[in-house]
Amino acid sequence: MIVLVLGGTRSGKSGVAESIVESLGPAVTYVATAAVNPDDADHAARVAAHQARRPAHWSTMECEEAEDLARFLDEIDGVVLVDSLGTWVAHHSDLTVEVDPLLDALARRTDPAVIVSEEVGLSVHAPSELGRRFADVLGMLNQRVAAVADRVLLVVAGRVLDLPGSDGAV
């Protein structure tokens, strides 16, 4: 089972994902994709808040290299929570991601995977080329993961919308 949880900044998406994996069993591996810059106190505080919410019995793996995510998904037994695809994309210096290895690893999993990602398409058009590139890459990545997911949730203001599957209609 693959669940994709989408939402904007401070929407509550990570909390929703954490609740889902908690209901799936006690053995959870949390894959953290954010590299914390010690000079960025705000980001460090956000990461610390995420860490404080996690039960002590969950395992945590730090995805320090962008290429590690697919490998981690292949190696982890039991429930896995990946938080988040946006920070995973940001790990790539040129924002170019290899999507197929990630999708292949998700397809090979026999245990549940809950993937958190930022929905960037509901905001203003990014004023910089880099911001537009990030939104484009993450938007396409979200579409590809949603296509293989069993369930896709959108979290807005702490409320959860269960998105129906695509029937191919335009």
- Per the CB < 8 A criterion, the answer to whether 160 and 17 are in contact is no
57 assigned to active site: no
- Secondary structure of residue 54 in the 3-state scheme: coil
Element (H, E) at 62: strand 59-62
Residue given tokens 């293989």 in the structure block: 148
- Per the CB < 8 A criterion, the answer to whether 48 and 141 are in contact is no
Which residue out of 43, 50, 57, 92 is catalytically annotated? 50
Pairing of β 151-156 and β 159-163:
antiparallel
Rounded to an integer, what is the distance from CA 56 to the centroid of its chain? Answer: 21
The DSSP secondary-structure symbol of 99 reads H
Catalytic residues: 50
